[in-house]
Amino acid sequence: MNRLLLAPVLFVSIAAASPPVLPAATSAPVAAALTPSSVTPPVKPAIIPAPKAKGPKLVEPHLHVIRSGLKARPRIALTFDACMGKADDRILSALVSERIPATIFVTARWLKHNPQALKVMLDNPDLFELENHGQNHIPAVDKPVSIYGIASAGSPEAVRQEVQGGADAMLASGVPAPHWFRGSTAKYDLSSIAQIRAMGYRIAGYSVNGDGGSLLGAAVTEKRIASAKDGDVVISHINQPTHAAGEGVAKAILDLKARGVEFVRLQDVEDTGDDQTTQ
Ligand SMILES: [Zn+2]
């Protein structure tokens, strides 16, 4: 029994000496003498903490537009991301028929596959401000990291390409030059924020997450967006026509209009973003 009690100490020291190597393989001769249950537990604490310490510090900046200060006419900016995929006509047609202005963040990928929706937006310049959501929908973080399972750009050069590639595609599609950038996942590290600002962009955070990445149900989405307050910037998605969330977005737009909301685009009003995104 004494041998079994000593075994965990032995395993920890082996694992600590060579973290990347699988301890089970390194210590095979010893392990063979032990039962599986006495082998497994000591391995975990020695290995798991190592990779966690490395990632860059990420921020998800807030953005507000200047308040109207009028209770009966709160000011709200609706922003929509067109990441990739298709166009959600439930939302697009509601915006057009109700004459509601909005800011749409488009990627090069989305533009390529949605010429019809783009035409609707370009045909209504009084409603739609189009801004830059990047070239390939890669998080604009200049160090390697995985965010929601998406690999970041990983270097300043790749961040530059993501931002510039998005702008180039917009110009090639007949869209006016963008002044705002919002990266995939809306997360950044501080050095990538500085870099994108130096390229001449304001960076669009948000203050109300309307649709939870288009993954929420219709009722929850409607409630979240409809509860937006004076000065809020709402983010949701206009590229998931098969998701229930879009139904909630379309309904919430009507709710807000019925409340007397003044809808503004980012180019129309002053705004304040944190993490040095607009200052
Ligand atoms: Zn996106």
Backbone angles phi, psi at 22, to 5 degrees: -65, 120
CA 270 to centroid of ligand 1, rounded, Å: 24
Structural domain tally of the chain? 2
pTM metric for this prediction:
0.81
Return the percentage of the chain with pLDDT > 90, whole number.
Answer: 80
pLDDT for 49 equals: 54
CA 138 to centroid of ligand 1, rounded, Å: 9
Is 80 exceeded by the pLDDT of residue 24? no
CA 238 to centroid of ligand 1, rounded, Å: 10
CA 236 to centroid of ligand 1, rounded, Å: 9
How many other CB atoms are there within 10 angstroms of residue 72's CB atom?
Answer: 8
CA 173 to centroid of ligand 1, rounded, Å: 19
| Contact criterion met (CB below 8 Å) for 178 and 108 | no
Same domain, 13 and 86: no
DSSP summary character for residue 199? T
- CATH number of the domain bearing residue 215: 3.20.20.370
pLDDT tens sequence across 60-118: 999 999 999 999 999 999 999 999 999 999 999 999 999 999 999 999 999 999 999 99
Q: What is the 3-state secondary structure (H, E, C) of 130-191?
A: EEECCCCCCCCCCCCCEECCEECCCCHHHHHHHHHHHHHHHHHCCCCCCCEECCHHHCECHH
Band (46; pLDDT cuts 50, 70, 90): low
Same domain, 127 and 45: no
Reference 137, options 107, 178, 168, 105; nearest CA is: 107
In a domain, 262, yes or no: yes
CA 150 to centroid of ligand 1, rounded, Å: 11
CA 185 to centroid of ligand 1, rounded, Å: 6
Q: What is the mean pLDDT of residues 225-231?
A: 98
pLDDT tens sequence across 168-191: 999 999 999 999 999 999 999 999
CA 74 to centroid of ligand 1, rounded, Å: 27
Residues spanned by the domain of 226: 63-273
In a domain, 241, yes or no: yes
Same domain, 29 and 150: no
CA 144 to centroid of ligand 1, rounded, Å: 19
CA 118 to centroid of ligand 1, rounded, Å: 16
Looking at 162-166, 170-174, 196-200, 272-276, which range is the least confident one?
272-276
pLDDT for 55 equals: 82
